[in-house]
Structure 1
Amino acid sequence: MKKFKGYLIDLDGTMYRGSEPIASAADFINALNKKNIPYLFLTNNSTSTPENVSDRLNQMNITSTSRHVITSSLATAKFIKHQKSDANCFVIGEEGLYKALQQEGLTISEEAYGSDYVVVGLDRGVTYKKIAEACIAIRAGAEFISTNRDVSIPTEHGLLPGNGAITSVIEVSTGKHPIYIGKPETIIMNEAISELGVAKQDIVMVGDNYDTDILAGINSGIDTLMVFTGVTPYHEYSSFDKKPNYHVKNLSEWIDHI
């Protein structure tokens, strides 16, 4: 069994479900820390800051600092910064996205028209007016960026519209396809791999969602470890065209391999 020198780890469905930690998640992270193996948490969540996410994990006794967390907002901000360091952005989103862009020194504009980028993240207070302004800006030449493709998000009330649903309204209206940042895209993965500082052949991506976590690893050319404690049920494993390198029912089965 291969020993990995770095871990990229999904959150919802892998570390916790809703407000409850998944059994053995804390033990798994403790085992990584005991062996001084670096790890990062990757999430398509664009609304929370890394500090918010880290605080939530620590409340579940899952060891984390803000530097352990890569959100789709953080990866989006760094991607734009690499493209245009003084970019002017019109934003649909919440605190996590605004703060990530500001921390990279990017300008957030109240006026959509004339912006360099239209950046879309989940916004639970989005208005028709703001969507219309985003469409006008994109038709005028602004680059269209979306933090992730997630069309729905799980909540205690069931599945609710995700950022992909908001993005699709703008995409259909403008006929323009956005650049997506979050899993399963390679953009967030490349950012995480760079931050982790471990050679790709020594990294494994751990997650519960085949369509985001596992495909993100496959698309990025790194090994994958699938757990069946979240979105994708075990009975679907046999139908995967490209199977994960490893799979376990839960993380307790992997701790001895760390």
Structure 2
Amino acid sequence: MTLRPVETWLTDMDGVLVHEEVPIPGATEFIDALKESGLQFLVLTNNSIYTPRDLRARLLGSGIDVPETAIWTSALATAQFLADQRPHGTAYVVGEAGLTTALHDVGYVMTDRDPDYVVLGETRTYSFEAITRAIRLVDAGARFIATNPDPSGPSQQGMLPATGAVAALITAATGRTPYYVGKPNPLMMRSALNRLDAHSESTVMVGDRMDTDIVSGLEAGLRTVLVTTGSTRPEDVERFPYRPTRVVDSIADLVAMVGSPARGEHGIDAGHDSGEGHGEG
């Protein structure tokens, strides 16, 4: 089968471009190469706390200049999903500005009076009162949506409970499981492709987690590249029943590939045997 040349790049943020707010070597050069190539790209994140404008400022503070329009969050994907499912609906939201702004922008009204949905996102200030209200609304029949299933997240002080952990609390109380929009749901990838009017067969997904980035990219029909600067260690790759198209040490190894042919010895598909190809730039 002849593979189409790469025309679009999707890349995860945490563990690929940055650790917290510390840039990973090669990240700035990779983004600059994408902008210079003229290829379409999006930076993806399951974190729903921040708006794209916020994230652009945070990345810029790390020396990585990503346009606001090139950032796609689980909050944006969730808002788009709800707008498609039930246009101009209502929602009770447990989350931060990234989520509430995205929902407002698609015409949703925030309310705690018989909402169509309870939407749970990331927040650093979960309140017992808000979670109790969410439980009662879900129990009364509101549809339960969560931006992503991540059970925990990092901070400078250590692990933090994330959306998946709080969703589990609500599920335990109500017996209702949320529909998760973010990775590993391939819907997150497809919504990103739709935003760019891009095709899966000419798109590459770069991520640091086999169980979210790589599997969602694979299920959406994308070629995938695992970088080993984040969650999945090189020795763990072979434990999974699926494989990325390629494994590299870090995002720095992909700078030279941007704009190069998608096949041949310098392409993404060179060294398709990812277990043996680790470390080949």
> TM range, normalised to the smaller chain?
over 0.9
Distance 2:199 2:187 in 1: 17
| Residue aligning to 1:216 | 216
RMSD: 1.4
Distance 1:243 1:179 in 2: 26
| Residue aligning to 1:229 | 229
Structure 1 unaligned runs (5+)?
none
| Residue aligning to 1:56 | 58
How far off is 1:63 after superposition?
2.4
- In the superposition, the TM-score normalised over structure 1's length comes to 0.95
How far off is 1:2 after superposition?
7.3
Distance 1:229 1:100 in 2: 30
Percent of pairs identical after alignment?
Answer: 36
Aligned length: 256
Distance 2:61 2:124 in 1: 25
How far off is 1:21 after superposition?
0.4
Distance 1:237 1:47 in 2: 30
| Residue aligning to 1:116 | 116
Distance 2:171 2:87 in 1: 25
Alpha carbons of structure 1 residues 2 and 234: separation in structure 2 relative to 1, 3 Å: farther
Distance 1:9 1:30 in 2: 14
- Paired residue secondary structure (1:23): coil
Moved over 6 A (4+): none
| Residue aligning to 2:15 | 13
| Residue aligning to 2:143 | 143
- Paired residue secondary structure (2:159): strand
Is the Cα–Cα contact under 8 Å of residues 74 and 147 in structure 2 kept in the other structure?
yes
1:165-201 CA-partner distances (Å, limit 9, x unpaired): 1111001111111110111102211110101222110
How far off is 1:255 after superposition?
2.0
- 1:188-227 superposed matches below 5 A: 188-227=188-227
Is the Cα–Cα contact under 8 Å of residues 21 and 59 in structure 2 kept in the other structure?
no
Is the Cα–Cα contact under 8 Å of residues 145 and 178 in structure 1 kept in the other structure?
yes
Distance 1:125 1:34 in 2: 40
Distance 1:106 1:86 in 2: 5
- Paired residue secondary structure (1:206): strand
How far off is 1:50 after superposition?
0.6
- In the superposition, the TM-score normalised over structure 2's length comes to 0.88
- Paired residue secondary structure (1:176): coil
- Paired residue secondary structure (2:206): strand
**Structure 2 counterpart of 1:222, one-letter code:** L
